[in-house]
A and B are shown apart, each in its own frame.
Chain A
Amino acid sequence: MGRTLAGKLWDGHVVRRVEGEPDLLYVDLHLVHEVTSPQAFESLRLADRRVRRPDLTIATMDHDVPTRGGAAAADPVARAQMEALEANCGREGIRLYGMGHRRQGIVHVIGPELGLTQPGLTIVCGDSHTSTHGAFGALAFGIGTSEVEHVLATQTIRAKRPRDMAVTVEGTLPPGVTAKDVALGIIARIGVAGGQGHAIEYRGSAIRGLSMEGRMTVCNMSIESGARAGMIAPDERTFAFVEGRPFAPKQTGWERALEAWRGLGSDPDAVFDREVRIEAASLEPYVTWGTNPGQAVPIGGRVPEPADETDQRALAYMALRPGMPIEEIAIDRVFIGSCTNARLEDLRIAAEVVRGRKVSQRVRAMVVPGSARVKAEAEAEGLDSIFRAAGFEWRDAGCSMCLGMNPDVLQPGERCASTSNRNFEGRQGSGGRTHLVSPPMAAAAALAGHLVDVRRL
């Protein structure tokens, strides 16, 4: 019987397999940030242990960092956390892309940017959106702080192999439907626990047709369906993206890597534990109406009748009436950013919508590039001017209002169209209300002052 991509990646990294125990897996790349690592480094130190492979570890500051005013704008507790990371990386010899570094940025944006994210790798990080890196045909998943410590000390992780799930999207995406809508459409279909215990492989012509940025968006949202990992088999587009980046293999190494990477894909006769098929033509621009990412409807739809208590709670929190047209929902804030949708392509698509227009009087809108590099590249092609002229704030890189650990937060009762990944209660600020959308839909909402179908703008 043929093997799945996830199976190949898993088996290729097993250090030790004992019946009745989780496998011991080797970790090729460990990404570290300031929020989920300090306790791991502290425990390591207390146990008199060292980081086994600092050369397979990189760190950045993203969750806490202010997006204007530099480090001085951070509150003292956040600053202490950043200083702890600096000290820990210094002590252990770990490369740190800290505040002010030209390569600083959201951990899931800079990994691919630096060419560290490559096909065939196992990648872990103390962050659930680590699934992003699966877009390159890597096995990438989020871990907790105790596991971060385990990886620091041993460069391995103990884990049970997830079951295999295939999500196949066939056909051509209709105009105005982006990778974000593919992700939201999938989650709406399978539910927020639909991927639990599984690694999802995204397949089909619509997935193949996505850019690397789009593939990252889709894989990024895997965790929102409960899946531990999401991945896409690498192809020529993947290799072209990696080639020439700072940490990409060079010369003969590149040739050998290509040879290995070309074998990375599920065998034709591979069997998945679960398969879901979606016609690309059935997808639309989606908007979430509730407090989990599965509660989404097409932009032309209406706020649904609650099906259960969970829905009722969500409607009450979101202050929405069943039957209300989605396009009548007025918004106060727009956030274009996050590891889901803050790469150059996302900003380009949003800028195209915004060009020559003005942000609604009632809306405060901001763009937070995914990395310092994305920011610089966007500025080099004038995207910042387009956003600024329209009335958007143009900020420095970081996770920002995706999770509101820095000063960028919603006020209680404020309603936001956001390109981020979670619409949980209070996620973007206590009492804040989040509607998840794609970058062009967020841009359109900023101009209109309410949720609106970008295709009609």
Chain B
Amino acid sequence: MEPVRLIEGRIAPLDRANVDTDQIMPKQFLKRIERSGFGPYVFWDWRRAGGFILDRAEYRGAAVLVAGPNFGCGSSREHAAWGLQDAGYRAVVAPSFADIFRSNCVKIGLLPVELPEETVRRLLQLALDDPATVASIDLEAQTVSAGEVAARFEIDSFTKECLLSGWDEIALTLRQESEIAAFEARRPEFLPRVTTASA
């Protein structure tokens, strides 16, 4: 994962609540076995319907997607996060995120930023009023600034450190090998194992 520190770019305003991962990345694109190249399929049906706000010239190339509450609800498909990142977004700002989607984002270095609904509304309005507005997100300082908006966001220290350093989380966990092995040695024998049965 590439380290995440400072994100600067224009805002893509998506003023919708409960944007589910089926909308972000429809099922027909989940058959691919690659991790990259999902960008062109993001919001496929909404874009194909025509007049989709994020397709306007002034919002193309935006780095910060700003959306309504419960963003990324529904399916666990990480393809949704891959697609947004591949489409050029480096952060998603919303009043709240679905749990699995948020987790998928931080694993790949797409920064989920939770801000109060009122602040999110102001960011949406900024992008509508002046699409050239640049938002600046400083992960180290945990701040978002754009136009007159200046806000601080919360993120747990471990996730923050992982993002700032671009750490390979699996490598980190593998350092705990002795603790994992010790836990395994304590597990009761009656727990299911696939090699012991014939089904």
Contact = CB atoms under 8 A, between A and B. Distances in A.
Contacts of A35: 30-31, 77
Interface in A243-291: 246-249, 253-254, 256-257, 260
B34 A15 contact: no
Contact of B107 (A47, A95, A144): A144
A116 to B, nearest CB: 5
Contacts of A64: 31
A159 B169 CA distance: 12
B57 to A, nearest CB: 24
Nearest to A20: B157
Interface string A89-117: 00000110000000100000000001110
A67 interface: no
Contacts of A160: 156
Interface string B1-37: 0000000000000001110101100111011111100
Contacts of B108: 146
A88 B108 CA distance: 23
Interface residues of A, number: 87
Contacts of B169: 146, 150, 158
B170 interface: yes
Given A144-B104, A150-B170, A425-B45, A247 B35 contact: no
Q: Which of A115, A145, A403, A430 has the most CB of B within 10 A?
A: A145
Interface string B88-105: 000000001011100110
Interface in A40-75: 42-43, 47, 49, 54-58, 63-64, 75
A404 B45 CA distance: 15
A142 B99 CA distance: 10
Interface stretch (B58-66, B125-133, B135-143, B189-197): B189-197
Contacts of A172: none
Interface string A198-209: 000000000000
Interface of A: 15-16, 20-22, 24, 26, 28-29, 35-36, 38-39, 42-43, 47, 49, 54-58, 63-64, 75, 77-78, 80-81, 84, 94-95, 103, 114-116, 118, 121, 126-128, 142-147, 149-150, 153-156, 158-160, 162, 192-193, 196-197, 223, 226, 228, 246-249, 253-254, 256-257, 260, 292, 309-310, 313, 403-405, 422, 424-427, 430-431
Interface of B: 16-18, 20, 22-23, 26-28, 30-35, 45, 69-70, 73-79, 81, 96, 98-100, 103-104, 107-108, 156-159, 168-170, 173-174, 176, 179-180, 183-184, 187-199
Closest 5 CB pairs of A and B: A246-B199, A146-B107, A144-B104, A253-B190, A144-B78
